[in-house]
Amino acid sequence: MNAFFKPSNAAALEGFRYEIKMPLDRLQYEDFLPHLYRSGLYPTSPFPDRRINSVYYDGADFSDYIDNISGIGARRKTRIRWYNDDVSKLTLEQKIKANKASRKETERLTNKALILPHTKDGLREILAGNDTTLETLKMAPLFPVLEVQYDRQYFMLGPNLRMTIDLEQKFKRLHPEPVSHFTNSPVYAVVEFKYPASKRLQMQAILRNLPFRIFRHSKYVIGLESTYI
């Protein structure tokens, strides 16, 4: 992994969190929240739902994709994200994985010219219009390879116990042969639980009572495989 963002203290995993994912089919999704209520859990919604758009970047050899499917303990995913079709405000994110824990490093990017980050030239123009740091300069060898779009619902199960549900996931290939259409995800919904290490036992107790299976689920990996790269 040649991460351009570095954890400040990887040994202590400070700032890292755990993420558990449950892919659901439609019937499971319809029963999911009712099952939480029957279990005595009443999630609150701290934020309104919103559409999330991401463009993922990788090397010409798809090294980050290979690291992900190989289960390499230290790996990364790099993306630019925006919300509700507002491409004027972008966020550069690198998700850094250290075994089962992960963290995100982010950098805000302004984009008043509304340049789409879907091409190498577009990415270069966006970075040139910002106070480019050494970290963003290291994006130079990366290519935009996949666009991902989905609708996200936000919930809290308790202090520092976050849950999201992603629906209507779809993917568009951008490299090496760009396509003009989206491909729907084979997964109907993905529930994700996010929590710090201090909440691990509490979350394990919650998950133990849920009749749904936990799977590794990477939108980046599923998206590339769904679009036949």
**pLDDT tens digits, one per residue of 191-212:** 999 999 899 999 999 999 899 9
Please, what is the average pLDDT of the chain? 89
Residue 82: how many other CB atoms lie within 10 Å: 20
Question: Which residue type sits at 126?
Answer: I
Which two tokens mark 136? Answer: 């963003």
Instruction: Tell me the percentage of the chain whose pLDDT exceeds 90.
Output: 66
Q: pTM of the predicted model, to two decimals?
A: 0.89
CA distance 218 to 204: 21
Q: What angle do CA 160, 156, 23 make, to 5 degrees?
A: 105
pLDDT band of 171, cuts 50, 70, 90: very high
Do the Cβ atoms of 116 and 86 come closer than 8 Å?
Answer: no
What is the Cα 128 distance to its own chain's centre?
25
Q: Where are the domains of the chain?
A: 17-226
Q: What is the pLDDT of residues 1-56, one digit of tens each?
A: 444 544 444 444 567 899 999 999 999 999 999 999 999 999 999 999 999 999 99
CATH class of 17-226: alpha beta
